[in-house]
Amino acid sequence: MSGHSKWSTIKRKKGKADAERGKKFTRLIKELTVAARDGGGDPDGNPRLRTAIAAGKAENMPADNIKRAILKGTGDLPGVTYESATYEGYGPGGVAIYMEVLTDNKNRAVADVRHILSKYGGNLGANGCVAWMFDKKGVITVDLESSDEDTLMEIALEAGAEDITSDSGAYEILMDAGAVDDVRTAIEAKGVKIESAEVTMLPQNTTKIETEREANSMLKMLDLLEDNDDVQKVYSNFDIDQALLEKLAS
């Protein structure tokens, strides 16, 4: 989990900036709409929609926004039709990049992604070229002040979690992708506030970026990918030493 934890720390810091720019709500609305379209508008029978609603509430999204997104997904309100896609490729130093996309124009989306990767020394690859390097898992994040580790571990493991760590500045609870809803419900039932609950792609191994130039290019690439309106999530197996990260941030 070490590589994922460092990546999570970076994403958590970036997530605050995304929210300020309005990107977070845009992504959540797309996910709510597609989840309702694919699985129906009743969250009781649609785990993906339940997770999306919980994510929206965690970001303080107004209930009316959530409702409208769901109604657009079910066709009860007019809205844009989004298509799902995944793109795979390589970044600086040969690190793996895996992207989940929701777009109303696949030609635009793939062109934008290819341009961003190429600009910073990467390239777009064929489907399947890096997906095998990742495992689909559920990750729930809890603030360190919200619970003690022993109590949280007991609750989570009983509900189906596999592991818990705290080396990223928060508790990260790992589980099978299908167990996210059960573990989240069990934790919240004990009055513990959850920062985030998501299905993610965890790298099986990490690739270390050694030079300042490659590290700088990698972080700029991630900024542009995560700012792209069509890109929902970006995953990578890169690792950067903490000293180099601090140097880049200074």
pLDDT tens readout for residues 105-147: 999 999 999 999 999 999 999 999 999 999 999 999 998 988 8
Tokens at residue 2, please? Answer: 């070490």
- Superfamily holding 2-74: Integrase, N-terminal zinc-binding domain (1.10.10.200)
CATH assignment of 83-132+204-245? Answer: 3.30.70.980
Tokens at residue 90, please? Answer: 């390589």
Q: pLDDT by residue (tens digit) across 183-235? A: 999 999 999 988 888 889 999 999 999 888 999 899 899 889 988 989 999 99
CATH assignment of 134-203? Answer: 3.30.70.980
Residue 32 pLDDT more than 80?
A: yes
Amino acid code (one letter) for 78: P
Supply the pLDDT for residue 244. 78
Which pTM value belongs to this model? 0.82
Cα distance between residue 187 and residue 67, in whole Å: 25
Q: Do domains 83-132+204-245 and 134-203 have the same CATH topology?
A: yes
Separation in Å, CA 13 to CA 4, 17, 107: 14, 7, 31
Give the domain ranges of the chain.
2-74, 83-132+204-245, 134-203
